[in-house]
Amino acid sequence: MTNAVGKARGVLRHSPGPGIFHHARLMPSASLRGSVEHFWIVRWDLCGHAPQLRETLPHPNVHLVFERGLTRIFGVHTTRFTRVLEGSGCVFGVKFRPGGFYPFLRKPVATIANGSLSLQDIFGDAAGSLEDEVLACVDETGMVEVATRFLNAHRPPPDAHIDRVASLVADIADDRSLTTVERLVERYGVGKRALQRLFNTYVGVSPKWVINRYRLHEAIERLAAGDAVDWAAFAIDLGYFDQAHFIRDFRNLVGRPPGEYATAAKG
């Protein structure tokens, strides 16, 4: 039995348009919680309406994404993810825990960053009919059940490093004071190079990237809340050397400066 997951982070705000849009996230069964963070589904029906832009700042996770004729396994996406939705469609995904895909891949997850693999690259011929089986289901519960059976049947041996890596990433996501790799090194008592090797192998991106991404996720949520912002203090609070560096990073990743984004989010 699956349960809904809480609010998504890293979603860039846009004024909702006409049409039908459904997004849900579901917890995995206990048998998969060592590998899978959650399942997700997006359905839309914009027939008769203009296409809609959807943008996110992806997390440090590998995704197995089912879409008719386009099913792939995607490494960590380091830039803004943009998708224009039109007509009607459905995409179902498996979001692996940080580090959770390494036992399936058996080589550094950094080797597939910003890239993708076919299901057969990992699971061989056994995955030949999986796309049809998942997308033939009438609802997300059925899709989760099919994906769960398949992943349980092909689950690799447990890896003790995964819980450690997932804990590190969760700490970065939840603790606003973790703004530098040095603070992470001090807290966990691990050398900087060892930490970088661990993230390269299991997560697919550097610890510095993960820190910057989650602090920018936090910035987006705080800007979307509509509170008045002291930009200089805001940048320092997020771990930036100064306001200019924060604005540069924000603009490069989000596509607009923070003040403009905050104004648009209010509308």
Distance of alpha carbon 250 from its chain centroid, rounded? 18
- What was the pLDDT predicted at 6? 61
- Are the C-beta atoms of 119 and 127 separated by less than 8 Å? yes
Helices (H), 50-188: 102-105, 119-123, 130-135, 140-153, 161-174, 181-188
Domain-wise residue ranges, the chain: 20-153, 161-266
**Two tokens, residue 240:** 């930036």
Stretch (H or E) spanning 246: helix 243-254
Tell me the pairing of strands 116-117 and 63-66.
unpaired
Q: Helix, strand, or coil here: 258?
A: helix
Q: Helix, strand, or coil here: 183?
A: helix
Per-residue pLDDT of the chain (267 residues; tens, 9 = 90+): 446 666 677 788 666 678 899 999 999 999 999 999 999 999 999 999 999 888 999 999 999 999 999 999 999 999 999 999 999 999 999 999 999 999 999 999 999 999 999 999 999 999 999 999 999 999 999 999 999 999 999 999 999 999 999 999 999 999 988 989 999 999 989 999 999 999 999 999 999 999 999 988 888 888 877 767 788 888 888 888 889 999 999 999 988 898 888 887 776
Which pTM value belongs to this model? 0.92
- What was the pLDDT predicted at 225? 78
**Two tokens, residue 44:** 């839309």
- What was the pLDDT predicted at 3? 61
Class of domain 161-266: mainly alpha
